[in-house]
Structure 1
Amino acid sequence: MPITSKFSDEKVEQILSDLVQALEKNEASTELSLMCLGNIATNLINCNVPLSQRKAIAEKFAQALMRSIDEKPTH
């Protein structure tokens, strides 16, 4: 079953493009990019999610990340 988002594809693509441009502008390596994105995720959860729900949200986020990882080589 496909996952349906409440956000428009156009909005998501624009934000992703902006994030990629910022990382490229700063010549961020993969490791630095992942560290920065992880810090953003942590900050969003800590600042916007009630303490009682943070662990569950973080676990769902990690599960979604794991499901989105390709298990086959891309190169």
Structure 2
Amino acid sequence: MSTVELKEFLKAKIDEIENNSFLIYIKNILNNKIDDLIILTSKQKASIAKGQFEYSEGNFKNNDFVNEEIEKWLKE
């Protein structure tokens, strides 16, 4: 596909899009601002929510503890 054909294809596809959020996403990509916009899947959102809940319940280990455990395992 040539550059001209690719541009025409993309223009046609963009013209078909009715979803404003998706158009904004495309605009951000074209403006090189993709780092400002993070789109997560439902599964990713659920995983983050689960992690936040576990943290709020105190169900985590701090970095020092984990490093000590790793050192023990490496010595075995």
TM-score, with normalisation over the residues of structure 2? 0.28
TM-score, with normalisation over the residues of structure 1? 0.28
Larger RCO (CA within 8 A; separation ≥ 6):
1
